[in-house]
Amino acid sequence: MPLKLSLAKGEKMVVNGAVIRNDGADANLIFENQANILRNKDILTPEKAVTPASRVYLALQCAYMFSDNAENHLDDFRQLLADFGAAAPNSMPIVQRLLGQVDQGNLYGGLKTCRELLDYEAEVLAHVA
């Protein structure tokens, strides 16, 4: 099933590791086949990966976007996720669901679940502050 996306002027996205920026008026794109796509709002830069959960997300994002080096990124992801789970045992339901998705090869679904991990972390950190 084709995927239709609209990009506003100046908006960026990544398709199979290539950064695409709309330089003109609104653009409508239709992807007719499978591609690894992330919209600008879902992209985390290394400079912004400053918390444990954001580092987990970044490692998984890199595995999703850069398939030529996915195994190395997935190794980093698994180690970071294990460390997170050990430090925050109450996060284990999210951690286990996330690992299951990644083990099944559903990296995009894993990125969605990783957002739950980011929300969990934000909630915990809000109680500390």
The predicted-structure confidence for 63-75, as pLDDT tens digits, reads as follows 999 989 999 999 9
Residues 23 and 52 in one domain: no
Residues 29 and 64 in one domain: no
- The residue segments making up the domain with residue 29 are 3-41
Task: Give residue 50's pLDDT.
Answer: 96
The span from the CA of 98 to the CA of 45, in Å, is 21
Residues 71 and 111 in one domain: yes
Q: How confident is the model at residue 127 (pLDDT cuts 50, 70, 90)?
A: confident
Q: What pTM, to 2 d.p., does this model score?
A: 0.90
Residues 106 and 59 in one domain: yes
Residues 21 and 62 in one domain: no
Residues 16 and 75 in one domain: no
Q: Where are the alpha helices (DSSP H) in 1-129?
A: 52-65, 70-87, 92-103, 107-128
The span from the CA of 129 to the CA of 125, in Å, is 6
Residues 57 and 94 in one domain: yes
Pull the structure tokens for residue 128: 């500390």
